[in-house]
A = this chain, B = another copy of it.
Amino acid sequence: MARNITPRADDYSQWYLDIIKAAELADYAPVRGCMVIRPTGYSLWESIQHHFDEAFKETGHVNAYFPLLIPNSFLEKEAEHVEGFAPECAVVTHAGGEKLEEPLVVRPTSETVIGHMYSKWIQSWRDLPILINQWANVMRWEKRPRLFLRTSEFLWQEGHTAHSTREEAMEETLKMLGVYARIMRDILALPVVEGEKTEGERFPGADNTYACETMMSDGKALQAGTSHFLGQNFARAFDIKFQNQNGDIEYAWTTSWGVSTRLIGAIIMTHSDDDGLVLPPRVAPVKAAILPISTNEEKIASTLLPRAMELSSELDRSLGGRCTMVDKQFYLRPGDRFFQHLQRGVPLRVELGEKDLAAGTARVVRRDSGEKMDIPLENLASRVPALLEDIQSGLFNRALAFRRKNTAVVTTYDEMKKVLEEKGGFVETWFAGSKDDEKKIKEETGATARCMPIDSPGEGTCFFTGKPGARKVIFAKAY
């Protein structure tokens, strides 16, 4: 049925791009590496934003906005940070018709400028914690761009918090990791693994980085979100100090955490099939498309369209929000209309033809399985919510089963190489190597340490160094 989508088995990369094109999610922009997020893609982003933003607010965070441009000298204040980000920066050298005294970088992330402001706002322990989030665009110049996964400009949220104690900052770091994991699992149907990053994969300037790692349908890993414990590194660099309850001056403890439009890439590569995009209902902006179908214009106007509009309102009410649409593209053939919603990943298609209406039913088609059902019109509003939930849990369970099937446990480097060569996927093992060891493994196998799962305590023997007391680590090739 896929008329313009390369089969996944033939060329995974092309399949991914074809899905995006067919669903009209995004386009490359005229500036190399940048993207245009088209209305279908942006409404998906708005839905993702909505769920995360609610969760941030429920956990006591507030939104704010910090400037796009950051003085170059700010980046240099934190040694690891500048080393990590400077090579990727876009730099403004002229403005208002003049050369600037100091070049300004377009923010690649905002720890530095936010740290600068926090140092002004924080004086006393009473000013803490500061729990701020920002929704913004950021820029990291990409040599090999890929829509949603690696673009020179992308949209994201970045949380930045400051605390009076190490414990509280660590608690925040893990709390937000948990918030991310919950939404990714419950709403985006991504069976993520929560874990700590190894030294070689940490955020530049962080003491610890935690991440949600998830497996794409080609077995490769994708980092879907990160939460950083920054210790006192940025507080020292930007002089974020406060007077504690005993009257002593201390440096604050800070965290940062972010998810981006990359999540759209994760959704595509987890759930979609050779017919196009498949969206988990809870994040789908349009959960059901209702299609009155007839060639008789009078019938459409007098009965089919009004009944379709009614059904749409009923469904919106039973689902609690505007999340259905009535397709009025009568100038297209029914097959083309079906196909459009299929390619855009709409979870349910509700067809309403003259015969259906005469029989008092609608033909409901599931996007995930293609299953067709004739459902009495009066039962539609009560049946659809459960159908959507069934699709939602089905997608999650399928992705989880896929990850489990494609996760191998190994104890030696030879085993690891064999698995990575022959079938890919996640490789679970014990590891106690250094940053250099990680580099070597990457060079030799293409795989990186994705994370040390937080729910896997215990110790083993390192597959690479033979050292005892090694932690459980997942290795995989990654996006």
Contacts and interface: CB of A to CB of B under 8 A. Distances in A.
Interface of A: 27, 29-31, 34-39, 41-43, 45-46, 62-71, 74, 86-97, 103-104, 106, 113, 116-117, 120, 126, 132, 136-137, 139, 141-143, 152-153, 155, 331
Given A46-B63, A93-B93, 20 more contacts: A27-B117, A30-B113, A31-B71, A34-B69, A35-B67, A36-B64, A36-B66, A39-B64, A43-B63, A67-B153, A68-B68, A68-B153, A88-B96, A90-B92, A90-B95, A90-B96, A92-B93, A94-B103, A106-B106, A137-B137
13 contacts: A30-B67, A31-B69, A31-B70, A45-B65, A65-B155, A68-B137, A69-B153, A90-B92, A90-B96, A91-B92, A96-B141, A96-B142, A126-B331
B93 A91 contact: yes
Contacts of A141: 95-97
A198 B62 CA distance: 42
A152 B86 CA distance: 23
A141 B41 CA distance: 31
A88 B98 CA distance: 10
Number of copies: 2
A112 to B, nearest CB: 10
B93 A29 contact: no
A64 B26 CA distance: 9
A138 to B, nearest CB: 10
Contact of A29 (B41, B66, B103): B66
Contacts of A117: 27, 29, 36
Given A68-B106, A106-B106, A27 B120 contact: yes
A329 to B, nearest CB: 9
B68 A42 contact: no
A36 B63 contact: no
A67 B93 CA distance: 19
Contacts of A139: 68-69
A86 B94 CA distance: 11
Contact of A42 (B29, B65, B74, B155): B65
A451 B45 CA distance: 38
Contact of A96 (B35, B66, B120, B143): B143
A86 to B, nearest CB: 8
A143 B98 CA distance: 11
B67 A29 contact: yes
A42 B64 contact: yes
A153 B91 CA distance: 16
A142 B97 CA distance: 11
A333 B466 CA distance: 63
A331 B127 CA distance: 12
Contact of A95 (B89, B116, B137): B89
A328 to B, nearest CB: 12
B67 A34 contact: yes
Given A69-B34, A69-B153, A29 B113 contact: yes
Contacts of A88: 96
A127 to B, nearest CB: 12
Nearest to A138: B68
A67 B31 contact: yes
A9 B37 CA distance: 48
Closest 4 CB pairs of A and B: A96-B141, A39-B62, A90-B95, A34-B67
A154 B155 CA distance: 17
A105 to B, nearest CB: 10
Given A34-B69, A63-B39, A68-B139, A87 B97 contact: yes
Contacts of A126: 331
A37 B70 CA distance: 15
Contacts of A103: 94
Contacts of A94: 90-91, 93, 103
